[in-house]
Amino acid sequence: MSGSSNIVAMKKIVQQLRFEANINRVKVSQAAAELQQFCIQNALQDPMLTGVSSSTNPFRTQKVCSFL
C-alpha cells in the first residue's frame, strides 16, 4: 500500500473536516422552536393527526352490495 495514497486520503479527510468546522450553527432552542411552530401550523392539514372521516376516506372498508 503506497504511502502517498494514504497522504492523499488523509488530505481529503482534513479538507472535509475544515469545511464542516466552518459552518454556522444555530442554537438548538431556536431550531426546536421553529420546528414546533412548523408542526403546529401544519397539524390541521395532517390527516394522521386529525383523523379521516369515513365519508372522505378513500381507503374506507369497501362495503359489499348484496341483492335482496
Partner 1 sequence: MGEMEQMKKEAEALKTQIEAARKAAHDTDMASAASGVAPAPRVQLKTRRTLKGHLAKIYAMHWCTDNRLMVSASQDGKLLIWDSHTGNKVNAVPLKSSWVMTCAYAPSGNLVASGGLDNMCTVYNLKTPVIKTVKELDAHTGYLSCARFLSDTEILTSSGDTTCVLWDLETGKQKTVFLNHVGDCMCLSLSPDMNSFVSGACDSLAKLWDIRDGQCKQTFQGHTSDINAISFYPSGNAIITGSDDCTCKMYDIRADQEVISYQDAALNSGVTSLDLSASGRLIFAGYDDFNCNIWDSLKGEKVGVLSGHDNRVSCTGVPGDGMCVCTGSWDSFLKIWN
- Cα-based torsion angle of the residue sequence 59, 61, 62, 67 in order, rounded to the nearest 10 degrees: -160
- Work out how close the CB of 68 gets to partner 1 at its nearest, in angstroms, rounded to a whole number: 25
Number of residues that bind partner 1 (CB under 8 A): 42
| 8 lies in the binding site for partner 1 (CB under 8 A) | no
Question: What's the start-to-end Cα distance of the chain, in Å?
Answer: 83
Which residues contact partner 1 by CB under 8 A? 3, 6-7, 10-11, 13-14, 16-21, 23, 25-29, 31-36, 38-43, 45-49, 52, 57-61
